[in-house]
Structure 1
Amino acid sequence: MSRRQGEMIREVQPAAPEPPLPTSQSVGLGVLLALVGGALDAFTFVGHGGVFANAQTGNIVLLGIAVARGQWAQALRHLPAILAFVLGVVVAETLKRPRVAAVVRWPARAALALEIVVLAAVGLMPVGTPDLVVTVVIAFVASVQVSTFRKLVDTAYNTTMTTGNLRTAIQSACTAVVDRDREAARRARQLAAVITAFLAGAFGGGLLTATGGVLGLWAVVGLLMLGLALFVYDERVAVRSSAHAGGSPHGNR
């Protein structure tokens, strides 16, 4: 066979299909987790002392102000949530370590399962549990989530706060309009969906917490269970597609 014939054969051969996007980076899961993020912040703000447990910027600022004023007891009040957030990051990163991942197999699913278990435990706490306990546990859960799920398709994003998402969405939209960049337009649409979901989660979580108390938290548990179900669904779709194509399925982590 001549070199030219070989090149012609390669040209007519169809390109190998790209592997499916991992569920942990999918828009569907990103929207679900943004709903969770908004609902958790609404739950702690409406039902537990008017605080936001998802992000620690406020706690660190208030800690610094209290120390500057010599209000040591006030300063100590902000430490537990910060330390819980740090612990959540450590746990999420540990789940990704090769030795741990070999045992856990699916670190992203394990993180969701951990969130479900911890939040269910909070939901079962007796009425009158100190707000500090609840907000510290929520801070831990939010930290696990934000440290585990950090990529939306091909873009860095955040599921427990929305400032960075809003900035990136506007930047992408500007690039799409000025440069007629289709990829930038796609990123803007995807981030807009996440931002809208965060707002919807805050609305729904706030309404449920105001009218049903802990019901707002159980709604979050339900959303996280839907997230786990999405992994299973995507995996079955991948297996069926692989069987039809005669290849091996790619696991959804």
Structure 2
Amino acid sequence: MKKQMSDTIRVGLLLAIVGGYLDAYTYVCRGQVFANAQTGNMVLFGIKIMEGHIIQALYYALPILAFFIGIVIAEMIKHHFFEHPKIHWRQIVLIIEAIVILIVAFLPKDFNMFCNIMISFICSLQVESFRKFNGNPYASTMCTGNLRSATEHLYQYFQTHNKKTLLKSLQYFIVIFFFIIGACLGTLLTNSLSYMAAIIPAFLLLSVIVFMFYEQVG
């Protein structure tokens, strides 16, 4: 059976770098927030509601809504382009991501809230569209689940000495490692380039599109 282009190691690791990079980018220069995952936004939304700060609560509700919309749009793209003969539906998702990130790169500080909403949107597109890494379920924009899976398979290896479970554990740890590399690069380049640092993950996403055209799968 052939492996899907989106399932290859090269694509998975590049997307993990992008995920870590964007988290660092939004934290360093877009108001010290993590736009990739929405758990924190949900908690802060609840806190602000209970404190009676309705307007502030909306600040955390909008990225959640953008994430929701991104999931819906990803599914719509999949539905309409699933059997397209010339382009993979996931490549369309990546093109949208790259365009949105390029727009974010040129927006000043006054647009931080809008930028975080847009990054939440593209992260939802990515997490919905790219769910496997070399055959294993994973997330490229957050690592809690990856850490759970890595630890679970490592424990199973020590119980069974099955090398396949050790390999799976190592693959998850590799994804986490590249996510951290992305965060380090994001911090370094954002401190140097400020808002324009978002250009880098945009080009990484474009490279993923190219790899998906030419990746040899088997």
Identity %: 34
- Backbone CA RMSD of aligned residues: 1.6
**Which of these two proteins has the greater Rg computed from alpha carbons?**
1
1:50 counterpart residue number: 32
- State the alpha-carbon separation in 1 of the partners of residues 110 and 51 from structure 2: 30
2:202 counterpart residue number: 221
Please state if 1:133 is matched with 2:114.
yes
- State the alpha-carbon separation in 2 of the partners of residues 102 and 157 from structure 1: 24
2:166 counterpart residue number: 185
Alignment of 1:36-115 (within 5 A): 36-97=18-79, 99-103=80-84, 105-115=87-97
Comparing 137-146 and 102-111, the one that deviates more: 102-111
- State the alpha-carbon separation in 2 of the partners of residues 202 and 171 from structure 1: 24
TM-score by length of 2: 0.94
Please state if 1:164 is matched with 2:141.
no
- State the alpha-carbon separation in 2 of the partners of residues 94 and 151 from structure 1: 20
- State the alpha-carbon separation in 2 of the partners of residues 167 and 56 from structure 1: 18
Deviations, residues 47-79 of structure 1 (Å, cap 9, x unaligned): 011000001111111111111122111112212
Please state if 1:233 is matched with 2:199.
no
- State the alpha-carbon separation in 1 of the partners of residues 115 and 130 from structure 2: 23
Instruction: Check whether the contact 1:48–1:131 (CA below 8 A) recurs between aligned residues.
Output: yes
Deviations, residues 2-29 of structure 1 (Å, cap 9, x unaligned): xxxxxxxxxxxxxxxxx33112111211
Shift of residue 105, structure 1, vs aligned partner: 4.5
Work out which of the residue numbers 138, 141, 145 in structure 1 matches 2:126.
Answer: 145
Instruction: Check whether the contact 1:108–1:148 (CA below 8 A) recurs between aligned residues.
Output: yes
Q: Which runs of 5+ in 2 are unaligned?
A: none
Give the AA of the match of 1:218. Answer: I
TM-score by length of 1: 0.81
- State the alpha-carbon separation in 2 of the partners of residues 64 and 198 from structure 1: 29
2:175 counterpart residue number: 194
Instruction: Check whether the contact 2:106–2:196 (CA below 8 A) recurs between aligned residues.
Output: no
Work out which of the residue numbers 105, 113, 122 in structure 2 matches 1:123.
Answer: 105
Q: Which runs of 5+ in 1 are unaligned?
A: 1-18, 239-249
Give the AA of the match of 2:169. Answer: A
Deviations, residues 59-118 of structure 1 (Å, cap 9, x unaligned): 111111111122111112212111111111001111121x44345841111111111111
Q: 1:95 to 1:132 in 2, by over 3 A?
A: same
The runs of 4+ residues in structure 1 deviating greater than 4 Å are none
Q: Which has the higher contact order (CA 8 A, sep 6+)?
A: 2
- State the alpha-carbon separation in 1 of the partners of residues 48 and 106 from structure 2: 33
Instruction: Check whether the contact 2:25–2:186 (CA below 8 A) recurs between aligned residues.
Output: yes
1:173 counterpart residue number: 154
Give the AA of the match of 2:125. Answer: V
Aligned residue pair count? 217
